[in-house]
Amino acid sequence: MKGRVLPLLAATAVAGFGHAAIAAESSSGDLTMMVGVDYSTGEYGSEKETRTWVVPFIAKYENGPTTLKASIPWIRTTGPGDVIGVGPDRIPAEGSENETKTESGIGDLVLSAGYAAVQNRHLLLDVIVKVKIPTADEDRALGTGKTDYSLQLDGATLIKGLTLFGTVGKKKYGDPDGRDYRDPYYGSIGVGKRVIPSTFAGASYDWRDNVTRTGDEIRELTLFASHRLGGGNKLQAYLVRGFSDNSPDIGAGVILSHRY
C-alpha cells in the first residue's frame, strides 16, 4: 500500500493487540473495518521526486487465537516510471523510464492469516503468513504484476506500563520478466504506552533489506497515536521519517476503524 500504510498498520496492530492481549481484553469473534489516507514523498533512489496518495481499505476478523485480514488500496502517484509500487513493496526499477507522470488505480490485494502461538498476560507471539495478489496494474507501475509471499513472527510484551513489540520476517518476491529480485529479510522494533485510558502512543523503527542489485534498504522511523472514539470506533494517526534512498523523505496518514 504503504505510501506507508502497511508498516504502520503492522506496528499499531501489534502494539494495540499486544497490549490488549496482555491486559486480557477479549477480541474473539470481532470484525473490524478500516479506511484511511496516507501521503508520502521521496526520491527512492531516483533522480526525481515521487509523491503518493494511498487510500487503504482493510477488513480484519479475529476469532480466538486466529486473525484473518484482507487489504486493498486505491493509489495516486506522481513521479518517474522507475519507481514501482508503494510502501514496503516499493522497488526502484533498474533501467526503466525516468519521465514524470501521474498514475492512479487499485493497488495489490494483500491477504494474511495469523495465529497467536503464545498469548498470556506476559507475552504475545503471533505467526503470520501473507500473500500479495497482483491486482495492481504493472503497466502503470502500481505493482510488479507478480505474487509475493511473506512469513513473519510478531511479538509483544508489557513491562512497567510500556508495550515493547517487534517483527521479524522474510519475503519471497515474484520476478517480472527480465528481473531477478532478492528475497529480503525485514523487521521492526517499537515501544508504546497507554498515555490515557483511551489513547495509545508510541514509536517504531522499520527495516527491510534491499530487493534489487542497486537498490537500498528501507529504514524508517514512525511516530503514532491511536485513540478510541467510543462506539467501537478508533482513530490512528502517524508521521514517518525515512533514512535511506528507498524510504520516503516524509510521510503521514490517518486510519479510521470500526469494530463490530
Cell (9 digits) for 180: 531477478
- Confidence (pTM): 0.86
Q: What is the pLDDT of residue 254?
A: 96
Q: Which amino acid is at 14?
A: V
Q: In the predicted model, what is the mean pLDDT of the chain? A: 85
Does position 14 have pLDDT exceeding 60, yes or no?
no
Describe the chain by its helix, strand, coil percentages, rounded to 5.
10, 60, 30
Q: What is the pLDDT of residue 144?
A: 86
Q: Which residue has the cell 469494530?
A: 259
Q: How confident is the model at residue 99 (pLDDT cuts 50, 70, 90)?
A: confident
Nearest CA to 252 out of 227, 228, 223 is that of: 223
Express each pLDDT in 113-132 by its tens digit: 999 999 888 899 999 999 99
What is each CA distance from 4 to 7, 53, 95, in whole angstroms? 6, 10, 25
Question: What is the Cα 80 distance to its own chain's centre?
Answer: 23
Question: What is the Cα 214 distance to its own chain's centre?
Answer: 23
Express each pLDDT in 25-66 by its tens digit: 444 579 999 999 999 998 887 778 889 999 999 999 999 899
Does position 15 have pLDDT exceeding 70, yes or no?
no
Does position 251 have pLDDT exceeding 60, yes or no?
yes
Q: Please give the Cα distance from 157 to 123 (Å, whole number).
A: 5
Q: Please give the Cα distance from 218 to 184 (Å, whole number).
A: 11
Mean pLDDT of 218-242: 94
249 by Cβ neighbours in 10 Å (0-12 / 13-18 / 19+) ranks as: middle
Is the distance from CB of 92 to CB of 214 less than 8 angstroms?
A: yes
% of residues, the chain, pLDDT over 70:
84
Cell (9 digits) for 175: 520476478
Q: Please give the Cα distance from 187 to 91 (Å, whole number).
A: 17
Q: Please give the Cα distance from 131 to 109 (Å, whole number).
A: 8
Question: 14-18, 82-86, 213-217: which range is least confident on average?
Answer: 14-18
The domains of the chain, with CATH numbers, are 5-259 (2.40.128.130)
Question: 1-10, 117-126, 251-260: which range is least confident on average?
Answer: 1-10
